[in-house]
């Protein structure tokens, strides 16, 4: 039974923690590495469920829909930022790390949500942004006043170049302009790797790092299970402020959104991304979280670089991040062959590192439209969605499923006047942007605003999403939603899919994706057909076709395994030879 907590906005930290202590404690985790095989459901709060009719999703709406999330069979929930914010980047510009935006709820709602998740055996990860704040955060308000004072060096400040311009050539990834903005009160520039309203914290300053950790402790005290850490590639910067060299055609390319003309992609980001000094910062964050319990987890986001290759470094030695997710399988500037190559090489270099596999999140476009547009164009969106969900569920590592992926939602077309995302607006029309993935969740095809809100929604509900609404799929055994539930249940029954090793399939050839999952007792070969046509995969005895794989229409024949277009199969090869 979930207890509704009173609103506690304005209550002291001690009072809140005292109340949290009254919540019944959970049994100790039998498996401290629960996060390794976990599948998390990302909730973008503003677009999930509105409970009060103001057109904006809120924490109460998430609580109201927790039974739906639990029915999916996922292991936990990752919640997008709900902290007080001016909203320039819709919650990723934080003005107070230890409170709740009143439009989204209250601290009492958070406490109730924590308890409600735990009652349903769901872990809860909060989105946390350690690299920057809003320009309205009181830390920055104090820091920008003068070059002296208690918080004068809490942010990254630098003098102008000799010509009065920015200190160097570093660019914002959100539009390609300078990553430096002049502050007349200090007569210096401040650094912001993203939007101008998001000044970067000086995490080399021990006081700043401890202040960030204290904010983490606040939420840990209330009982959250861990955090998704935003943009960990930006934790540090070159203290000599050296210019980034240009990137020429043929050089390694950063993997990010923004379209082919984003100036950010024309630099090699040697001095503003992925600096060695980030590792001690990560280790200090891990130390603070481990002090609570070894079952709390830190999941990092790696973007703006060929990030799968850096996953080992950020998750090594058991004293850094527990896992990371990257954008190497999300970025839009790849052919199918290049994308499949990324899948293959991940098995080679990940080693002891740990990835959370992710094909869609709040910063990308919908996976079926991004990775299998050929199938969407052919009217086979549902089959493509099942294919991608099956791949995600069988790859080594955990997984992150963004809201609506379990429905197979395609990317909607939005007119310019409907855009809200500053990144989309800055790079229009070259960049599709993030607005399309953030449209309201379609719950009921027959209800106003698809059941998301009784008021005018903050973003339009795409009409093309109505056929995919939850109400249309709940009772259809062949729907993507029914498939996803069956897939999660099946995955729980195959332990090596959650914890086993992986190697790329030596006989894989486009359009087939083939890889092995194995442990000391068993080897499974996973085969997926990324084409609309039937394909065959040669299977030598004693391999047998698993018969209980949800949604699989594959058959064994004389030539091996026959896979229909967009089909998939799993071969059981028995103990490793």
Do the domain assignments include residue 461?
yes
Looking at the structure, tell me whether residues 413 and 516 fall in a common domain.
Answer: no
Chain center to CA of 371? 17
More confident residue, 467 or 510: 467
Do the domain assignments include residue 114?
yes
Kindly state the tokens that stand for 371.
Answer: 């990775």
Kindly state the tokens that stand for 306.
Answer: 């060929």
Range of the domain at 390: 13-134+204-491
What are the strands of the beta sheet with 535-537, ordered from one edge?
Answer: 535-537, 560-563, 555-557
| Domain stop point among 468, 491, 514 | 491
Looking at the structure, tell me whether residues 437 and 349 fall in a common domain.
Answer: yes
Where do runs of H (alpha helix) occur along 133-277?
A: 138-143, 206-222
Choose, from 89, 112, 225, 230, the residue flagged as catalytic.
Answer: 230
Is the separation of the CB atoms in 410 and 381 below 8 Å? yes
Mean pLDDT, range 441-462, rounded to an integer: 98
| Domain stop point among 444, 463, 491 | 491
Kindly report the CATH number assigned to the domain that includes residue 339: 3.20.20.80
- Classify residue 454 by burial, with Cβ atoms within 10 Å: 0-12, 13-18, 19+: middle
Is 286 strand, coil or helix? helix
Is the separation of the CB atoms in 426 and 104 below 8 Å? no
Do the domain assignments include residue 198?
no
Q: What is the DSSP string of 270-282?
A: SSSSS-TTHHHHH
Kindly report the CATH number assigned to the domain that includes residue 524: 2.60.40.1180
Do the domain assignments include residue 169?
no
pLDDT number for residue 247: 87
430 part of the active site = no
Do the domain assignments include residue 124?
yes
Do the domain assignments include residue 51?
yes
Do the domain assignments include residue 32?
yes
Looking at the structure, tell me whether residues 350 and 410 fall in a common domain.
Answer: yes
Do the domain assignments include residue 195?
no
Looking at the structure, tell me whether residues 557 and 431 fall in a common domain.
Answer: no
Give the burial string for 12-43 (b: 16+ CB within 10 Å, else e): eeeebeebbeebeeeeeeeeeebbbbbbbbbb
Looking at the structure, tell me whether residues 130 and 259 fall in a common domain.
Answer: yes
Share of the chain above pLDDT 70, in %: 90
Is 134 strand, coil or helix? coil
Rounded CA gap, 31 and 143, in Å?
Answer: 44
Based on the structure, what is the number of domains in the chain?
Answer: 2
Average predicted confidence (pLDDT) for the chain: 90
| Domain stop point among 491, 510, 529 | 491
Residue whose C-alpha is closest to residue 561's, from 536, 541, 526, 542? 536
Kindly state the tokens that stand for 559.
Answer: 């030539």
| Alpha-carbon radius of gyration of the chain | 24
Whether residue 484 is predicted with pLDDT greater than 70 in this model: the reply is: yes
Q: Which pLDDT tens digit goes with each residue over 67-123? A: 999 999 999 999 999 999 999 999 999 999 999 999 999 999 999 999 999 999 999
230 part of the active site = yes
Phi, psi of 515 (to 5 degrees): -155, 160
Is 200 strand, coil or helix? strand
Choose, from 75, 109, 183, 301, the residue flagged as catalytic.
Answer: 301
pLDDT number for residue 116: 99
pLDDT number for residue 316: 79
Rounded CA gap, 257 and 253, in Å?
Answer: 12
Looking at the structure, tell me whether residues 396 and 288 fall in a common domain.
Answer: yes
Q: Which pLDDT tens digit goes with each residue over 39-74? A: 999 999 999 999 999 999 999 999 999 999 999 999
Looking at the structure, tell me whether residues 530 and 551 fall in a common domain.
Answer: yes
Kindly state the tokens that stand for 188.
Answer: 């210096």
Looking at the structure, tell me whether residues 487 and 505 fall in a common domain.
Answer: no
Is the separation of the CB atoms in 265 and 246 below 8 Å? no
pLDDT number for residue 29: 44
Looking at the structure, tell me whether residues 320 and 420 fall in a common domain.
Answer: yes
Looking at the structure, tell me whether residues 393 and 528 fall in a common domain.
Answer: no
Looking at the structure, tell me whether residues 343 and 377 fall in a common domain.
Answer: yes
Looking at the structure, tell me whether residues 243 and 388 fall in a common domain.
Answer: yes
Rounded CA gap, 268 and 253, in Å?
Answer: 8
């Amino acid at each position: 039974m979930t207890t509704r907590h009173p609103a506690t906005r304005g209550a002291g930290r001690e009072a809140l923690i005292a109340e949290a202590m009254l919540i019944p404690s959970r049994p100790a985790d039998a498996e401290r590495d629960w996060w390794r095989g976990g599948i998390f459901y990302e909730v973008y709060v503003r677009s999930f469920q509105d409970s009060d009719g103001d057109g904006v999703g809120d924490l109460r709406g998430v609580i109201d829909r927790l039974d739906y999330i639990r029915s999916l069979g996922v292991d936990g929930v990752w919640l997008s930022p709900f902290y007080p914010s001016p909203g320039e980047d819709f919650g990723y510009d934080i003005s107070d790390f230890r409170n709740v935006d009143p439009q989204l709820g209250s601290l009492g709602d958070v406490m109730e949500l924590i308890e409600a998740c735990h009652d349903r055996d769901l872990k809860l990860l909060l989105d946390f942004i350690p690299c920057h704040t809003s320009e309205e955060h009181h830390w920055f308000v104090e820091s920008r006043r003068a070059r002296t004072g208690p918080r004068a060096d809490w942010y990254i400040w630098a003098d102008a170049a000799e010509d009065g311009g920015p200190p160097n050539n570093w660019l914002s990834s959100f539009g390609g302009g300078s990553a430096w903005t002049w502050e007349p009160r200090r007569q210096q520039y401040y650094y912001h790797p993203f939007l101008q309203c998001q000044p970067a914290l000086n995490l080399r300053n021990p006081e700043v790092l401890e202040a960030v950790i204290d904010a983490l402790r606040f939420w840990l005290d209330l009982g959250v299970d861990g955090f998704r850490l935003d943009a960990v590639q930006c934790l540090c910067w070159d203290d000599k402020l050296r210019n980034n060299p240009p990137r020429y055609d043929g050089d390694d390319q950063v993997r990010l959104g923004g379209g082919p003309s984003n100036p950010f992609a024309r630099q090699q980001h040697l001095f503003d991304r992925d600096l060695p000094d980030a590792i001690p910062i990560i280790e200090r964050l891990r130390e603070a979280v481990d002090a609570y319990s070894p079952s709390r987890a830190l999941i990092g986001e790696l973007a703006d670089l060929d990030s799968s290759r850096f996953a080992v470094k950020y998750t090594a030695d058991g004293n850094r991040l527990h896992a990371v997710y990257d954008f190497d399988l999300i970025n839009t500037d790849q052919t199918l062959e290049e994308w499949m190559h990324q899948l293959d090489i991940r098995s080679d270099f990940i080693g002891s590192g740990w990835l959370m596999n992710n094909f869609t999140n709040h910063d990308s476009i919908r996976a079926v439209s991004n990775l299998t547009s050929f199938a969407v164009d052919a009217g086979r969106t549902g089959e493509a969605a099942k294919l991608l969900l099956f791949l995600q569920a069988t790859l080594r590592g955990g997984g992150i499923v963004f809201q609506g992926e379990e429905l197979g939602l395609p990317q909607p077309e939005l007119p310019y006047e409907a855009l809200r995302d500053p990144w989309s607006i800055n790079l229009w029309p070259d960049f599709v942007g993030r607005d399309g993935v953030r449209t309201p969740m379609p719950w009921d095809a027959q209800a106003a605003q698809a059941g998301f809100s009784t008021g005018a929604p903050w973003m339009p509900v795409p009409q093309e999403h109505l056929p995919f609404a939850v109400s249309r799929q709940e009772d259809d055994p062949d729907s993507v939603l029914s498939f996803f539930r069956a897939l999660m249940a099946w995955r729980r029954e195959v332990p090596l899919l959650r914890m086993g090793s992986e190697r790329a399939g030596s006989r894989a050839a486009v359009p087939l994706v083939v890889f092995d999952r194995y442990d000391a007792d068993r080897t499974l070969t996973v085969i997926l057909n990324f084409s609309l046509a039937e394909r065959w995969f040669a299977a030598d005895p004693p391999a047998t076709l698993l018969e209980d794989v949800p949604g699989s229409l594959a058959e064994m024949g004389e030539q091996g395994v026959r896979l229909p277009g967009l089909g998939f199969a799993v071969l059981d090869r028995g103990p490793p030879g």
